[in-house]
Amino acid sequence: MKSRSGSLYSLPLTTWISLFFLVPMLIVFVYSFLARETGGGVRWEFDLSAYAEIFRQTASGSFIYLDIVGYTLIMAVSATLLTILIALPCAYYIARSKNNTLLLFLVIIPFWVNFMIRIYAWVAILGQSGILNESLLAMGVLKEPIQFLFNDYAVLVVLVYTNLPFAILPLFTTIEKFDFGLLEAARDLGASHNRSLWSVLLPNIRGGLVTAVLFTFIPIFGTFAVPDVMGNSNVFMLGQLITSKLKFTGDYPMACSLSVLILLLSAAGLVVYTVYNNRQEQQHQVVIAEDEL
Amino acid sequence: MKGSEVRVENADKKFGDFHALKNVSLTIGKGEFFSLLGPSGCGKTTLLRIIAGFEDPSSGSVFLDTTDVLPLAPNERHVNTVFQNYALFPHLTIFENIAFPLRLKKLLKADIQEKVTHYLQLVHLVGHENKKPNQLSGGQKQRVAIARALINEPSVLLLDEPLSALDAKLRHQLLVDLDLIHDKIGITFIYVTHDQSEALSVSDRIAVMNEGRVLQIGTPFEIYEAPADTFVAKFIGETNVMDGVITAHVDNRYTIDTDSLGPIMVTSDRYFEVGHRVRHAIRPEKIDITKEKPLGLPEDFNIFHGKVSETVYSGFQSQFYVETDESPQFKVYQQHESYLERGPAIRWTDEVYLNWDADDGYIVELI
The residue type of B353 is Y
Reported confidence tier of residue A291, pLDDT bands at 50, 70, 90 = very low
Cα–Cα distance between B115 and A205 in angstroms, integer? 30
Q: Mind listing the pLDDT tens digit for each residue in B168-222?
A: 888 988 999 999 999 999 999 999 999 999 999 999 999 999 999 999 999 999 9
CA-CA distances (angstroms) from residue B38 to A26, B29, B41, B197? 70, 20, 8, 12
Cβ-Cβ contacts under 8 Å, B54 against chain A: 184, 187-188
Residue A187 confidence class, pLDDT cut points 50, 70, 90:
very high
Partners of B248 in beta bridges: B255
- pLDDT of B326 > 80? The answer is no
What pLDDT does A279 receive? 76
pLDDT digits (tens, 9 = 90+) for A41-96: 888 999 898 899 888 888 888 888 999 999 999 999 999 999 999 999 999 999 99
CB contact under 8 A, B89 and A191: no
Q: Are strands B188-193 and B33-37 parallel, antiparallel or unpaired?
A: parallel
Q: B 308-347 residues with CB below 8 A of A?
A: none
Tell me which residue in B73, B83, B105 faces A185 most closely, judged by beta carbons.
Answer: B83
pLDDT computed for residue A267 by the predictor: 87
CB under 8 Å to A242, separation ≥6 — which residues? A224, A255, A258, A259, A262
Q: How far apart (Å, rounded) are the C-alpha atoms in residues B119 and B181?
A: 11
3-state class percentages of chain B: helix first, strand second, coil last, to nearest 5: 25, 35, 35
- Give tens-digit pLDDT for B207-260: 999 999 999 999 999 999 999 999 999 999 889 999 999 999 888 999 999 988
- In order, the DSSP letters of B146-175 are HHHHHTT--SEEEEESTTTTS-HHHHHHHH
Quick one: how many helices (H) and strands (E) in chain B?
Answer: 8, 20
**DSSP label of B342:** T
Nearest residue to B49 via CA among A188, A192, A178, A197: A188
Strand partners, B341: B343
Q: Residues of B with CB below 8 A from A189's CB? A: 75, 80, 100-101, 104, 148-149, 152
**Per-residue pLDDT reduced to its tens digit, A205-264:** 998 999 999 899 999 998 999 999 998 888 889 999 999 998 888 899 999 999 999 999
At CA B335, angle to CA B332 and CA B337, rounded to 5?
155
**Contact between chains at B87 and A184 (C-beta distance less than 8 A):** yes
Mean pLDDT lowest among A125-129, A175-179, B337-341, B352-356: B337-341
**What are the angstrom distances between the C-alpha of B58 and each of B10, B18, B23, B37?**
10, 12, 10, 22
Q: Is B96 on the interface with A (CB under 8 A)?
A: no
Share of chain B above pLDDT 70, in %: 98
Cα dihedral B21, B24, B30, B36, rounded to 10, equals -50
**pLDDT tens-digit map of A5-32:** 778 888 888 899 889 999 999 999 999 9
Burial of B165 (0-12, 13-18, 19+ CB in 10 A): middle
Q: Please give the domain boundaries of chain A with CATH numbers for all domains.
A: 12-53+63-292 (1.10.3720.10)
Q: What is the DSSP string of B9-61?
A: EEEEEEETTEEEEEEEEEEE-TT-EEEEE--TTSSHHHHHHHHHTSS--SEEE
Cβ separation B104–A179 shorter than 8 A:
no
What is the C-alpha to C-alpha distance for residues B89 and B133, in angstroms, rounded to an integer?
7
**Which tens digits make up the pLDDT trace of B64-97?**
999 999 999 999 999 999 999 999 999 999 999 9
DSSP secondary structure string, B270-294? S---TT-EEEEEE-GGG-EEESSPP
Taking only the tens place, the pLDDT of each residue in B44-56 is 999 999 999 999 9
The answer to whether B83 faces chain A, any CB pair under 8 Å, is yes
Helical ranges in chain B per DSSP H: 44-52, 94-104, 109-122, 138-150, 168-185, 196-202, 220-225, 230-235
Is residue B162 within 8 Å of B181, Cβ to Cβ?
no
- Res B260: pLDDT: 85
pTM value? Answer: 0.84
Q: Which residues contact A127 (CB under 8 A, 6 or more apart)?
A: A133, A148, A149
Contact A270, A214 (CB under 8 A): yes
pLDDT exceeds cutoff 60 at B292: yes
Where residue B275 falls (left for φ over 0; alpha for ψ -120 to 50; beta otherwise) is left
Listing from the earlier edge strand, what are the strands of the sheet with B288-290?
B288-290, B351-357, B301-313, B317-324, B330-335
B232 interfaces chain A, CB cutoff of 8 Å? no
pLDDT-derived band of residue A188, with 50, 70 and 90 as boundaries? very high
Q: Which residue of A has its CA nearest to B84?
A: A181
Handedness of CA A227, A230, A234, A235 (dihedral sign): negative
CB–CB contact B104 A190 (8 Å): yes
Residue B155 confidence class, pLDDT cut points 50, 70, 90: very high
CB-based contacts of B156: which residues, under 8 Å, 6+ apart?
B3, B4, B6, B51, B64, B78, B79, B80, B187, B188, B189, B190
Q: How confident is the model at residue A292 (pLDDT cuts 50, 70, 90)?
A: very low
| B69 vs B73: CA distance, rounded Å | 8
Buried residues in B311-333 as b, exposed as e (16+ CB within 10 A)? beeeeeebbbbbebeebeebbbb
A-B C-beta contacts closer than 8 Å: 71
pLDDT class of B99 with cuts at 50, 70, 90: very high
Residue A293 has pLDDT above 50, yes or no: no
Lowest mean pLDDT among B127-131, B309-313, B345-349: B345-349
Q: Which domains does chain B have, with CATH numbers?
A: 6-235 (3.40.50.300), 240-366 (2.40.50.100)
Cβ contact (<8 Å) for A200 and B89?
yes
Look at A184 and B101 and tell me if their CB atoms are within 8 Å.
no
Q: How many whole angstroms separate alpha carbon B353 and alpha carbon A141?
A: 97
- Cα-based angle A161, A165, A170 (whole degrees, multiple of 5): 145
Across B100-105, average pLDDT: 95
Neighboring chain A residues of B85 at a CB cutoff of 8 Å: 179, 181
